[in-house]
Amino acid sequence: MNNATAPKSVRTLIAPDKFKGSLTAGEVADALAAGLRSASGTGTGTVHCELLPLADGGDGSVDAAVASGFIRRHYTVAGPTGQHVQASIAFDGTTAVVEVANTCGLALLPDGTPEPLNASSRGFGEVILFALSLHPARIVMALGGSASTDGGMGMLTALGYSFRDADGRQLYGSGRALAQIQSIHRTALPELSDTELIVASDVHNPLRGAHGAPAVFGPQKGASPEDVTALDQALEHFITKMTEAGFADAAALALHEGAGSAGGIGYACLLLGATQVSGADYFLDLLDFNTRKDNCDIVITGEGSIDEQTLNGKLPAAVARRSGERPIIAVAGRSLLPRERWSELALTRVYTLAEYTDQDSSQDPDLSAALLRRIGKHIGTSLL
């Protein structure tokens, strides 16, 4: 009689966010899965991997939706400084996912040169128009990574709003142009009123003020202290003009949590009647995380940095909260949380790339992927 122990079979759900500056969520999942699978077949058992690249409403949201089964559709739009860029949306026949990052994001600035006063959100409006042409029931707008602080003026221009200066000249949406607005004319776009608009974002800043878009995010986009002041005053003027144009709640919406997301694009979306939801939780629902985790024994999640912001509701925290009693492993570029605080995220273990190299992997995709494969093999070995 053979009393040998039967080989183990472990089912894993690999559900990471991107490693910003290095790897997309899909690339992170692929590298971890390759490492996990390499631990199989040694006679001790097999690790089965289901991959679910995630996003929280920032850059990478379209990629995550495509990885889960949505179809990618390409469309050429105006980039943050007017140059043509190839953008894409994700569409499943009912829901369209559009994002700021691949239309008018920081990464699309020519030569990486910041344009804090001149960058525009027009391309985001153009990709929304393209999505509307597909007649979706809803459009999910992912707002992370914008290069502009124009209050969504550029986006609204693409959607049929005409902004004119004191001489009656048409203005191209930008932070600089906000202060020049003297009149606003809006053309009805029936498709907008027939489509549910959802803003997926975990940014809680108002449009302006000490915690507003210019003050908090402007410096990240190259804005000097003088630029921050000018942009804040320009947005105040914008609110006044939108009120005069018939938006009775323009001032109240500027104070709304999330109005300051993506340089104020969040504000323009609220003006259009969009509903704001938690980006992390919305995308977990959209990508059917709950069903997928129910079919696995262990969940592996992660992002570029595990830190205090993670505790405040970023994607790995949302994944951990929904994973129930099963073990949860996090993989990150670095972790600023000491081991005694892992329990605050219900994490069984945290692996970091920094533990495996003395080099900076944050801008090195090849090194990051190689390290993730090593970590994946270590995880797989520990499971079998």
What pLDDT is recorded for position 118?
97
Q: Spell out where 119-264 has E strands.
A: 138-142, 161-164, 183-186, 196-200
Select from 146, 148, 108, 99 the least CA-distant residue to 126.
99
**CA distance linking residue 206 with residue 14, whole number of Å:** 35
Structural tokens at position 157: 């221009």
Q: Could you give the CA distance from residue 85 to residue 120 in angstroms, rounded to a whole number?
A: 13
Strand ranges, E, within 124-193: 138-142, 161-164, 183-186
Q: Are the CB atoms for 62 and 72 separated by under 8 Å?
A: yes
Phi, psi torsion values for 63, nearest 5 degrees: -60, -45
Q: What is the pLDDT of residue 355?
A: 94
Q: Return per-residue pLDDT of the chain as tens, 384 residues.
A: 344 555 688 999 999 999 988 999 999 999 999 999 998 865 678 899 999 999 988 889 999 999 889 999 999 999 999 999 999 999 999 999 999 999 999 999 999 999 999 999 999 999 999 999 999 999 999 998 999 999 999 999 999 999 999 999 999 999 999 999 999 998 878 788 889 999 998 889 999 999 999 999 999 999 999 999 999 999 999 999 999 999 999 999 999 999 999 999 999 999 999 999 989 999 999 999 999 999 999 999 999 999 888 887 789 999 999 998 899 999 999 998 888 888 888 899 999 999 999 999 988 999 999 999 999 999 999 988
Residue-range domains of the chain with CATH: 8-54+287-383 (3.40.50.10350), 61-280 (3.90.1510.10)
Asked whether 372 and 28 are in contact (CB, 8 A), the reply is yes
User: What is the structure's pLDDT at 1?
Assistant: 39
pLDDT of amino acid 3: 45
* Cα 367 to Cα 361: distance, rounded to the nearest angstrom: 6
Distance CA 100, CA 121 (A): 8
| Three-state DSSP class for residue 11 | strand
Q: Are 46 and 95 in contact (CB under 8 A)?
A: no
pLDDT at position 7 is 66
**What is d(CA 124, CA 159) in angstroms, rounded to the nearest whole number?**
10
Contact 226, 232 (CB under 8 A): no
- Residue bearing tokens 């191209």: 172
Q: What is the pLDDT of residue 6?
A: 59
Residue whose entry in the numeric block shows the structure tokens 């959100």 = 121
Report pLDDT digits (tens) over 74-129. 999 999 999 999 999 999 999 999 999 999 999 999 999 999 999 999 999 999 99
pLDDT value, residue 51:
95
Bridge partners of 305, per DSSP, are: 334
Q: Cα(309)–Cα(327) distance, rounded to whole angstroms?
A: 22
Residues 307-345 pLDDT 10s:
888 887 789 999 999 998 899 999 999 998 888 888 888
Copy the structure tokens of residue 228. Answer: 């921050």
